[in-house]
Amino acid sequence: MSEKFQVGQIIEGTVTGIKPFGAFISLDGTTQGLVHISHITQGYLSNINDAIKVGDQVKVKILSIDSEKGKISLSIKEANRENRPTSKPQKKESPQESFENLMKDFLKLSNDRQTDLNKRLNR
Domain borders along the chain are: 10-83, 93-123
Q: What is the pLDDT of residue 98?
A: 81
- The CATH number that domain 10-83 falls under is 2.40.50.140
- The whole model's pTM is what? 0.63
Helix, strand, coil content of the chain in percent (nearest 5):
35, 30, 40
pLDDT at position 56 is 93
- What is the CB neighbour count within 10 angstroms for residue 79? 21
What is the Cα–Cα distance from 96 to 20, expressed in whole angstroms? 49
Residues of the chain with pLDDT under 70: 1-2, 82-93, 123
